[in-house]
């Protein structure tokens, strides 16, 4: 008997399934009852099935052991010239279409006996299993470690977002007070309460008044956004007429549309039912959508605000004939402080907050915003509101 067989005799390898020490002759584990050969076959099959291009494997244990010849040599179970002769014989038979495994050939040529060969195969299967278990354990450890790292990163990101939200909220509130002073004094000056004004001074004050109004809107948006992101939106739901709301939006945007050379149209179906929502916020939503429509359409284009009844919902839409949004960038437009053209030379003004807030407001009404768009042809942005049962 070789040293290898002696080694096996000393050594009780662990069962790959339950980990208990295995008596060396066993083909099933006396502890958990698993069929060791079957377990090996199934594991290897499952593995090989996932490897592209791998050939189907036979159910012979020897076929599972890579480089069995080297293994037998390394453990002094066959001699090198015996192995070479068996390999030559195997080749010779294969040429006559008689395919045999190396173990079978070695046994037939009398270089190894059946029992020793089976033991060698068994032990190597167990070694392979142990290696597989060890690799799995390492993998699990690495997955655990990576998950921990990702969780930490997520936590840090959460903290950073919180700091950002606090910063926006604090700065916005702090900007309000000095802005109120500026606006107050501009009004006093314009009304002549602080003395007579020249025409140029009046014009300068008008510019100041417009700019402070813009700044005030921006600060209100920032406060609204940071509050909504932190605490969610608390809605003040009430019955309202969509036609009236649309008319308000038309009034607020008509000057801007005219200045931009855009034709603004209303397409509100007659006799729409009374809806229920936070009307003030919904007006803000429509204003943002129309404002975008005008901004991203420009001279010679058209923007339409429309609504129609469809079963128990009302569809509301803003359609423009403007620059459009590439299909793969639609999700981006909802990111706060994000504009599709974020370059320093960008053509369009704004902070990139409008649609982020529009989405939050619509979602808090249980509604989803939809965008259909074709670059250089225009966009259709829409959402639906339910008709309350008493209005239907």
Ligand X SMILES: Nc1ncnc2c1ncn2[C@@H]1O[C@H](COP(=O)(O)OP(=O)(O)OP(=O)(O)O)[C@@H](O)[C@H]1O
By CB under 6 A, name the binding residues for ligand X: 288, 292-293, 296, 320, 322-325, 333, 339-341, 350-356, 379
Nearer to ligand X, 26 or 368 (CB): 368
State CA 248 to chain mean position distance: 38
Contact 313, 385 (CB under 8 A): yes
Least distance between ligand X and beta carbon 379 (Å)? 4
Interface stretch with Mg ion, choices 234-242, 300-308, 320-328, 350-358 (CB under 5 A) = 350-358
Least distance between ligand X and beta carbon 150 (Å)? 29
- Using alpha carbons only, give the angle 163, 367, 226 rounded to the nearest 5 degrees: 15
**Per rule CB under 5 A, count of chain residues that contact Mg ion:** 2
Nearer to Mg ion, 172 or 292 (CB): 292
Longest dimension (CA), the chain: 122
Q: Per CB under 5 A, does 322 bind Mg ion?
A: no
Least distance between ligand X and beta carbon 247 (Å)? 21
Contact 370, 381 (CB under 8 A): yes
Least distance between ligand X and beta carbon 346 (Å)? 8
Nearer to ligand X, 179 or 218 (CB): 218
Nearer to ligand X, 16 or 354 (CB): 354
Q: In a 3-state reduction of DSSP, which class is residue 315?
A: strand
Least distance between ligand X and beta carbon 371 (Å)? 8
Q: Whose CA is closest to 333, among 367, 376, 288, 298?
A: 288
Q: Pick the binder of Mg ion from 323, 354, 362, 367 (CB under 5 A).
A: 354
Least distance between ligand X and beta carbon 66 (Å)? 57
Nearer to Mg ion, 116 or 292 (CB): 292
Q: Whose CA is closest to 129, among 37, 57, 201, 218?
A: 37
Exposure string over 120-136, b if 16+ CB within 10 A, otherwise e: bbbbbbbebbeeeeeee
Nearer to ligand X, 185 or 334 (CB): 334
Q: Per CB under 5 A, does 339 bind Mg ion?
A: no
Q: Per CB under 5 A, does 292 bind Mg ion?
A: yes
Task: Give just the sign of the alpha carbon dihedral 255, 257, 262, 267.
Answer: negative
Cβ-based neighbour number of residue 367 at 10 Å = 19
* Phi and psi angles of residue 385, each rounded to the nearest 5 degrees, phi first: -125, 140
Nearer to ligand X, 27 or 217 (CB): 217
What's the rounded Cα separation, in Å, for the pair 184 and 191?
11
Return the one option of Mg ion, ligand X, none that residue 384 interacts with (CB less than 5 to 8 A, by type). Answer: none
Least distance between ligand X and beta carbon 44 (Å)? 53
């Amino acid at each position: 008997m070789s040293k290898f067989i002696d080694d096996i005799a000393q050594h009780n390898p662990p069962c790959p399934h339950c980990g208990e020490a295995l008596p060396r002759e066993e083909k099933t584990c006396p502890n958990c009852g698993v069929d060791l050969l079957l377990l090996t076959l199934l594991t290897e099959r499952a593995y090989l099935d996932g490897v592209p291009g791998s050939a189907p494997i036979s159910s012979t244990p020897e076929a599972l052991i890579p480089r069995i010849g080297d293994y037998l040599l390394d453990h002094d179970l066959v001699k090198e010239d015996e192995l070479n002769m068996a390999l030559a014989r195997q080749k010779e038979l294969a040429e006559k279409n008689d395919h045999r495994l190396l173990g079978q050939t070695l046994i037939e040529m009398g270089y190894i006996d059946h029992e020793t060969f089976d033991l060698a195969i068994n032990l190597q299967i167990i070694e392979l299993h142990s290696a597989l278990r060890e690799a799995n354990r390492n993998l699990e450890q690495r997955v655990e470690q990576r998950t921990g790292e990702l969780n930490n990163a997520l936590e840090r990101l959460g903290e950073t977002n919180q700091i950002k939200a606090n910063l926006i909220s604090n700065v916005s509130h702090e900007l309000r007070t000095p802005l109120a002073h500026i606006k107050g004094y501009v009004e006093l000056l314009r009304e002549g309460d602080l003395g007579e004004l020249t025409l140029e001074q009046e014009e300068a004050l008008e510019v100041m008044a417009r700019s402070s109004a813009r700044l005030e809107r921006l600060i209100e948006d920032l406060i609204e956004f940071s509050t909504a992101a932190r605490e969610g939106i608390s809605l003040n739901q009430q019955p309202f007429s969509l036609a009236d709301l649309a008319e308000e939006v038309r009034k607020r945007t008509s000057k801007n549309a005219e200045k931009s050379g855009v034709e603004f149209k209303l397409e509100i179906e007659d006799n729409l039912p009374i809806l229920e929502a936070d009307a003030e916020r919904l007006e803000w939503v429509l204003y943002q959508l129309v404002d975008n429509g005008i901004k991203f359409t420009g001279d010679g284009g058209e923007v339409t605000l429309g609504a129609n009844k469809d079963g128990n919902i009302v569809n509301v839409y803003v359609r423009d004939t403007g620059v459009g949004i590439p299909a793969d960038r639609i999700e981006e437009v909802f990111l706060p402080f994000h504009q599709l053209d974020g370059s320093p030379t960008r053509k369009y003004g704004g902070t990139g907050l409008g649609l982020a807030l529009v989405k939050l407001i619509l979602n808090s009404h249980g509604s989803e915003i939809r965008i259909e768009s074709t670059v250089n042809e225009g966009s259709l942005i829409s959402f639906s509101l339910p008709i309350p049962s008493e209005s239907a």
